[in-house]
């Protein structure tokens, strides 16, 4: 997994009743865009994240191609 500052991290809820979490990557601490990432989540919290298999990186180009409603 590789990311850049400004990309968005989308963590899918992994159990019934657990909503997805989304946030903006504000710092990349690994070499060459690798984790961990400092993420400012949409709920206002900022956390250092080591994304698991339930997470995907969304780049600004991807969001422009597939805008949310």
Say which residues have a Cβ less than 8 Å from residue 67's Cβ, sequence separation at least 6: none
Q: For the full predicted model, state whether its pTM sits above 0.75.
A: yes
Say which residues have a Cβ less than 8 Å from residue 29's Cβ, sequence separation at least 6: 35, 36, 37, 38, 48
Whether the per-residue pLDDT at 11 is higher than 90: the answer is yes
* Alpha-carbon Rg for the chain in angstroms: 12
Task: Indicate the length of the chain as a whole number.
Answer: 69
User: For residues 62 and 18, which has the higher predicted lDDT (pLDDT)?
Assistant: 18
Can you give the pLDDT at residue 60?
A: 83
Residue range 1-24: average pLDDT? 94
Q: How confident is the model at residue 68 (pLDDT cuts 50, 70, 90)?
A: low
Q: How confident is the model at residue 15 (pLDDT cuts 50, 70, 90)?
A: confident
């Amino acid at each position: 997994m590789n990311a850049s500052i400004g990309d968005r991290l989308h963590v899918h809820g992994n159990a019934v009743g657990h909503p997805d979490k989304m946030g903006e990557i504000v710092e990349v601490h690994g070499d060459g865009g690798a984790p961990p990432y400092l993420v400012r989540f949409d709920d206002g919290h900022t956390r250092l994240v080591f994304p698991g298999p339930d997470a995907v990186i969304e780049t600004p180009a991807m969001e422009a191609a597939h805008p949310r409603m």
